Every structure is written in C-alpha cells, then in structure tokens.
Amino acid sequence: TLAARIKGFRDKGNPEKLAAVDGNQSRSTMALLIKRLLNSIGSPNYLRMPREEDTHSMVNFLMQGFDSPLTFDLENADFILSFGCGLLDGWGSSGRMLNVWRRWATNDRQHKTHIVQVDPRASNTASKADLWLAPSPGTEAALALGMAHVIIKEKLYSKEFIDNHSFGFSDWFDEKGLEHKGFSGIVLGKYSPENVENITGIKSRVIIEVARKFASANAPIALAGRGKGTFPGSLYEFMSVHALNALKGRVNNKGGTLITDDVPLAPWADVVYDSVANNGLTKERIDRAGTLRYPFTRTLIHKFAEVINGSHSSPVDTLLLCSANPAYTMPDNQSFIKALKKIPFIVSFSPFMDESSMMADLILPDHSHLEKMVDIVRPTGIQYPLYALSRPVVKPLYRTRHTGDVIISLAKRIGGSIASSFQWANFEEAIKERVSGLYDAGENKVSWEDVKKNGYWYTPRHFFGKRSDIFKTASKKFEFFSTKIELAIKTYSKGLRPGKPSGLEGKSFDDALLNLGISAKGDEVYMPHYEEIKSGGDKNEYPLLLLPIEFINLATGWIGNPPFLNKTLFDYQLTKDDLFVEVNPKTASRYGLTEGAKAILKSPKGELSVRIHHFDGAMPDVIFIPFGLGHTAYDRYLKGKGVNPNEIIDPIEDPLSGQPVWWNTRVKLIKI
C-alpha cells in the first residue's frame, strides 16, 4: 500500500524521498493539508505549480515586507495602466473583472475610467481599451521606467509619500558612510523616453503623454501580469510596474494597491515532529527553492525535473500529484515527462485520466468539483478578506473519494507522530476547525451553518490612506531600494568565497550576479530595473519569437477544456484537429504562407504542425499560439485537438527569481 511504501523509506531515515506537486490554491485547506502531510513525514519537497501570484507575492515581500500577493482596488480606480493583464481574457476573478469593466465603461464622461493596455497583441482587453500600446515582448519594465522618468523629471510624483513613506528614492548614505544611488537618479540617467523608445519601439511622445495622464489622474493604478495569470512573470518587471504606484502614492489608497488583513481563520494545532521528520526537514529541497541561489522563491518545479533528469537514479521514490497535470501544463513539458519516467512510484489524485495520470502507478480519484467541498481563501487580486466555501450539489457518480479524506486516512495508516498531526475524522472537520476563526470576526457573528449555507464570508471595509506602521520592511517604509535583495545577494556572494569574510569585492560579487542572471551593476541591482531576458536558440536560425496566449473560453490549467467550450472557438482558431497560430500578414508573406496554410513551427526543443491565421493585431515577427489544446489524454473530444505549445517552449530562468520564462522562445516557420 501507499502507507507501507512511505513508512518503508521513512523507517530507513529517508523521508525526503516523498514529494508532492500541488495545484490547489495556496491558501486553501487542501493545500495546507498536503503540505502538513509532507512536513509531518519529514519531506521538504512540497512543490506548487507556478502562478503569476507567486511573482506578485515576491514584489510585495521585497518592496513592502508582506508575504502575500498584491491586491487591487480596481472598482475605485479612474486610470488603469495594465501591463499585459488580460482583464477581459480571464485574469483574476472573471466575474469580478467583467462587472468592474462594465462599471468603468458606464460611468459618465466626467467619471469615466481611462484604460491603457500594454500588450504586443490586440487581445480582447487591448481592443476594448482606450489606448493600446504594443511594445516588444519582454520590454515592459523599460516602458514602465520610461514613464517613471517623466513623472520624476516633471515632479509629478506624490511628495508626501516619497518623503515620508519611501526608502531609496534619492541618493543616500548607509551607516558606514558609503553613498548609494537612489531610484530617481538611476531612472533619470538611464530611462529617458528616447532611450526607452529604442528598447520598446513605443514612441517617446506617447510615453510622455501616457505618463502625464497617469500622474494627473485622481486614482490611477498600474497592474503587472500576462494573460490570465496562469504562469509567473518577471520579478524586476513587476517591481518596475509597482514602482509607478509608489511614485503616485497609490499604496493603500482608494483605487490603488491595498495592504489588506488576512482572513481570520483559526490555526490548526502544531505539527508533531519525530526525530526522522526533524532530520528530513533539514535537508535541501530537490528544486533548490529557498537556497542562497533562489532566496525568494518557494517552489521551482522546473528545477525539480532538471535535478531528477540529471541524477543517475531519482532522488524521489514516491510522487503525489494533487490537482496538477505537470506533464501537460509545464513549459518544456517533455523534460517533466522524462523526469516522471524516472520516478519509481507516482500517485495521482485526479478524477480525470489526464496526461500525468496516464503515467501514474496508482490513481486514487478525487470527486469532481460538483461532488465535493472545497474552499478558496482570498482569491487573487481581491481587495478585502474573503473566504468562499463550495459545497457538494450532487452525490458522487462513481466510487471516488475526497482527496482530503484520503490524506487524513493515509496519515493515520502511517501512524506515529504523523497520525498525531491529523486528529480530524474527515476533511470537513479540518475545514470546520479553520472556519471557527470567522465566528466572532467581522461586523456580524456567524456560525459554521451560516458559512455552509451562504458559501462565503467577507469584510469589505478598508482603512484607506493608512501608511504609518504598515510596511514590514527593514526600513519600515516602501522600498525602492530593496534591503532584502541587497542582503540576499551579498550573502550569496559570500557563499561563493568560503573563508573570505567580506566576499563583496572583485570576482565573487560579479559571479553572484552572473549566476543570478542579473546584468545590472551597482545599486541598480537592488531596485526595479530593466533586464533583457535572453532566449534559447540562435536568432539567425530561429528569427521569430513564440508568445503563447490565453483565451477566456479555453481552459489552460490542469483540467481540460469542456467539450462544449471547444464549440465556441472560431474556425480560424481550431478547425477539426488543426490549431491555428496568429501571424502578422507581413511576416506570413515573407514565408509565402497564405491564410489557412499548413506549416511546421520549430524551436530548439521540437516542432509542431500548425496552420496560419493572418492577424493584423499580431506584432510582426512574433507568433501567437493558444494555450489549452493539444491534449494527448482525456476523451475523443479533447485528445488530439490542436497542439500543445509547452512541447516546444524553451524556458530560461528569470533573473533572481529563477522562475521559468515561458514567453521568450525563438522559433521559425517552415512552409509545408
């Protein structure tokens, strides 16, 4: 049995041989339960599927000191500067976004919300925006800093916020008397609109115009993201965009980014650790997340696969797959499939026979979403504490079992301290214990029955404008100069020179930056700045750029697209089994590719058979390909429909964060 297998390698002192890949919402009870199981067993190898909110959490941590995603008061904003967020394409909570867009659009002229969309493609969001800017992919940070240049140069920033609540804006001296360059000086010196035009392709006059409009708005907000937010973004890019909010004092202000309270859920009792668990948890994670090399990243699932593929034998004996299908959804999924083949025992909890489940040795199918209880704690981007509880509406159709119940039963079967950490009889009891913290919170008292009946709990109040004592950084202020980045890089640099106390002079520091993928020098390293993201493949051999896109009516996560939603795709997106890629007509004509022509889309990682759709809204020399199709599993309605771009994505690591860059693969088109 699974319990006996885990107990076997645990009794030999190797609890770290257990790993789990979890796709549940990070704050949900299911995610906490799975992580608790691995902790009690003694394995540090709890991995999460990467998401955009991971990058937002890092930005919040590095610039504001909070270890949680950023939240946005979009309903009260009057100027939206969106750097790639598919606001009408599935970003955030779709219901909320469609409703707030309606509010923006129906306000009278005097109170109308002005929307600027930054996107290399004319997406639904870009098409509906008041202004569409199409920079070269990957140059969004430079564009944001070009706008910051205008705001700083023309003194359009919030002097009150900058003077009283920010650190690192102007040049400053540290406690040793060393002078440091401020954010304003670097931006004024490097990111003039003319310089940024050369980087992004956006005219300098447009950069100036948008920056002035953003600065003159009453409640502007800048948003960083890509598409639906399914995948992580670039850390320095997101920091650069958030710096615009800080310049205008839009932190914890009505219509800006907010620092919100956590949902007041009751904590569980502490995990009970025995000596085996304590020893296992001291060992380094397989994916290296949280090490000196990746100090701010909690999980790096692509590194997990890389380490396994580079090992003679798999360091993982048993892998649990929970609400995740990495064999399909991971960029360069073929590398992950190769890693899965080396793992001796794989357990899938999926209710679907997906790509990862097809490689599993044991399937313990979960209920489907209509058959089970599941909770969501503060959905991404929501600006106030919200707890949502989904209850089963139908009885299970087959002999399935809630994964939460299975995890609790598994812990009890393993026994010892692990069983002691799982005192609940079932998953509902575990949820109920957390929810007890809500009973006396908020304006009105609630009970478990109230939460079950209503399906939600929230407190929409917020103390706008509160700035004192809210930042949890070392400076107790918003940090343009991130002291956490400074400490992490200098500590990493010391690690490259064992026995050298300073480790900060000469080659070791340069080596640290090189290893971290950072090209900037000096104090700019610790601040928002533009890093040119390298790409795999020779530009001469692969002259085009591949940029995957997401549609609101096409599922891109671990669950396949419902067959009836496939019917909503246009014939120029999917015809029978053929997937179309969007190509600018000028680019297509260079290759002699007419509308509907068949072609091979090739990257250094592999090739796909596609058809061509001419689209004037596509940037020249960029190929746009939809995520969500190309399944090799499921049923006849999904299997073989289109192709999966993850098969040819050649991801490289984002500087500092180490997250996979999925939107920068070089490709070429070959006419068939």
pLDDT digits (tens, 9 = 90+) for 158-167: 999 999 999 9
Residue position matching structure tokens 């907000």: 221
Whether the pLDDT of residue 500 is over 60: the answer is: no
Long-range Cβ contacts of 399-403 (<8 Å, 24+ apart): 400/351, 400/365, 400/366, 400/367, 400/368, 400/371, 401/364, 401/365, 401/366, 401/367, 402/366, 402/367, 402/372, 402/373, 402/426, 402/427, 403/30, 403/322, 403/323, 403/349, 403/364, 403/366
The torsion angles phi and psi of 497, rounded to 5 degrees, stand at: -130, 75
Q: Residue 554 gets which letter from DSSP?
A: S
Residue 494's pLDDT is 84
Residue 139 confidence class, pLDDT cut points 50, 70, 90 = very high
* Ordered domains of the chain (ranges, CATH): 2-53+272-366+397-424 (3.40.50.740), 74-255 (3.40.228.10), 544-671 (2.40.40.20)
pLDDT of residue 497: 54
Secondary structure element (H or E) that encloses residue 83, with its range:
strand 79-85
Tens-place pLDDT, residues 633-652: 999 999 999 999 999 999 99
Q: What band does 109 get if pLDDT is binned at 50, 70 and 90? A: low
Q: Say yes or no to pLDDT of 504 above 50.
A: no
pLDDT at 462 over 80: no
pLDDT, average across residues 351-380: 96
**19-45 mean pLDDT:** 98
Please state whether the predicted TM-score (pTM) of the whole model is above 0.75: yes
Buried b (16+ CB within 10 A) or exposed e, 252-281: bbebbbbbbeebebeebeebebbebbeebb
Q: Is the pLDDT of residue 671 over 70?
A: yes
Q: Going by C-beta distance under 8 Å and a sequence separation of 6 or more, which residues neighbour residue 453?
A: none
**pLDDT greater at residue 154 or residue 111:** 154
Coil vs helix vs strand at 643: coil
Mean pLDDT (whole number) for 549-569? 93
pLDDT at 443 (0 to 100): 67
pLDDT the model gives residue 499 = 47
The whole-number pLDDT of residue 295 equals 95
**Other Cβ atoms within 10 Å of 507 Cβ, number:** 11
Averaged pLDDT, 232-245: 98
